[in-house]
Amino acid sequence: MAGWEFWIDRGGTFTDCLGRDPEGRIHVAKLLSSDRAPVEGIRSLLGLPEGAPIPPCRIRMGTTVATNALLERRGAPLVLVTTTGFGDALAIGDQRRPDLFDLEIRRPETLYREVVEVAGRVAADGTELAPLEPEAAAAALAAARRAGCTSAAICLLHAHAHPEMERRLAALARAAGFDHVSCSHEVDPEIGLVGRGDTTCVDAYLSPLIRAYLEALAAELPGSELWLMQSSGGLAPAARFRGHNAILSGPAGGAVAVARIGEQAGHRRVIGLDMGGTSTDVCRYDGELERTYETVTAGVRIRAPQLAVHTVAAGGGSLCRYDGFRLTVGPASAGADPGPLCYGRRDAAGRPKARELALTDVNLALGLLLPDRFPFPLDRAAVDRALAEVAGRLAADGHRRRPEEVAEGFRRVANETMARAIREITVDRGHDCRDYALVAFGGAGGQHCCAIARLLGMREVLLHPDAGVLSALGMGLADVEWHGTADGGRVALAEADLAAPFARLEAEGRAALAEQGYDPEGLRVVRRLDLRYRGTEAPLTVAEPADGDWAAAFEALHQERFGHRRPGHPVEVVAYRVEVAAPGPSLPPAAGEAPPY
């Protein structure tokens, strides 16, 4: 069994496992998700009984552990350590309204449960304005530790450029017994206290959870190599996988596969539609996957390289309801347990677990889901009863519809939701979706892709034979990546010395991948700048132009994105970004024979 490699996507409903044997053949296993599902999938593919040792292998995996923990607020008990007078800065935020017309805004709860404000402050130029008081800081940290906090997020004013005080506080926190310490100058070395603080809190909140999960996996996989998919679409070794880079760990694999499949099929422009059990993710590829460097997830700002994946709550498990006014699909989901009605799952007393219609049930009723291609028997009678019940409620409200018309109504609601998501990443950003091919995948993608393409005027749909497990395939195809960021200091572009910061970041990235055994000569390096017009707030990330004219490249992108440019207006450097990557393998043959599409 030596030489096996496993590519795993642990999703919210299903865990998909692909195994490549020593001869290069691809094998597939799909299981209901649980913490043990990746190990169970590997055992299944190797034909090993429960409890049998797993031989050393190479594993590439994406996981929703971090995302779910953030959404459900199940991270490590956290203390925020910050400069005196700024303890409320993250709670106040930047005062943006999440919904402009909402009269009763409910702020998401903060990730930290305690705040420690420490004396000691430096100016923007590094001048010490007030010295750190180590004894007082150590006492406050010890009190936070006694209060139950096990992780610390340290974020001081101007620490992105002058991190010495943060390093001293980190040493004090470890001495106080904290299991994990995150410093903002390491997590997000950019200007902006709120964004840097939020990102550092996410890292400190999630990293301990991820570490515990990976340690449990490693205990069952002795001698194996474990690589994790980052939100950026690149892999990192388990030891370097951190919470703030893990939010899109699962969806990123699908985006990588979409790009490779589009290229192989001769399409340089493709839209990815990943319809899973809980949600649908859409992405756009136009020669390169679109990235973003600041997002808001679960009410928390995260500044880290992420693929621009847009998610909507429409999946195979999305609950289909009539609320007395309209038909709705999602956001609530049946999940893996109890699952849709047609799964027929029962409790210990033999009673059905599922109580409500899900989109999978609707597709079964409409003939879009083929029972003979499903891995277990489906209960059609339960679906028919539920549709008849909804039809009866509609009739009581004066809307007579046959059960099959109710099912079609739910399907159309779901299709419009997913079509709207694609418009947001194309039309809303100045791209015509009719110029793209649609790559559909995920367990439910094939059931909806043609109707969505018709809604959008798209003329081609690509379905890979392994579409049901494509995110797992993307784990195997992904590059190994290192991302580095340095603050640009708001220096005028015309006066900036770009070479030195780029060279320093590139050397750091090459060294990191060399430590992992990659040939420095075979690495790909991408340089980017965050640029903006002086006096504006939001920068644009510009890839290094072939002719070296950064100003012209920025103005062209500004024209494309905002519809205008400002000739002669000063442009300033906000941040330097360098990506160093070891290219992934080529697209392998599909597992088994292609199904008859």
- 316-325 pLDDT, tens digit per residue, is 899 999 998 9
Q: With CA atoms as reference, report the closest residue to 246 among 255, 236, 256, 254.
A: 236
Which pLDDT does position 115 carry in this prediction? 97
Tokens 């950064």 found at: 550
Which pLDDT does position 474 carry in this prediction? 93
Strand-pairing partners, residue 114, are 79
| Better pLDDT: 412 or 313 | 412
Question: Of 253-257, 271-275, 461-465, 581-585, where does mean pLDDT reach its minimum?
Answer: 581-585
Which pLDDT does position 367 carry in this prediction? 93
Element (H, E) at 183: strand 180-183
Instruction: Name every residue whose Cβ is closer than 8 Å to that of residue 53 and which is 6 or more positions away in sequence.
Output: 222
The answer to whether residues 488 and 496 touch, using CB atoms and an 8 Å cutoff, is yes
Instruction: Name every residue whose Cβ is closer than 8 Å to that of residue 314 and which is 6 or more positions away in sequence.
Output: 275, 279, 280, 329, 330, 359, 414, 417, 418
Which pLDDT does position 591 carry in this prediction? 61
Which pLDDT does position 106 carry in this prediction? 81
489 in the Ramachandran plot: left (φ > 0), alpha (ψ -120 to 50) or beta?
left
**Chain mean pLDDT for the chain:** 91
pLDDT for 532 beyond 80: yes
Which pLDDT does position 1 carry in this prediction? 45
In the structure, what pLDDT confidence band is assigned to residue 2 with cuts at 50, 70 and 90? low
Indicate the SS3 state at residue 68: helix
- 234-279 pLDDT, tens digit per residue, is 999 999 999 999 999 988 999 999 999 999 999 999 999 999 888 8
pLDDT for 592 beyond 70: no
Which pLDDT does position 597 carry in this prediction? 25
Question: Of 277-281, 409-413, 433-437, 552-556, where does mean pLDDT reach its minimum?
Answer: 277-281
Which pLDDT does position 538 carry in this prediction? 86
Which fold does the domain 480-582 belong to in CATH? Dna Ligase; domain 1 (3.30.1490)
Question: Of 43-57, 173-187, 380-394, where does mean pLDDT reach its minimum?
Answer: 43-57
Q: How far apart are CA 266 and CA 268, in angstroms?
A: 6
Which pLDDT does position 156 carry in this prediction? 97
The model carries a pTM of 0.85
Backbone angles phi, psi at 304, to 5 degrees: -165, 155
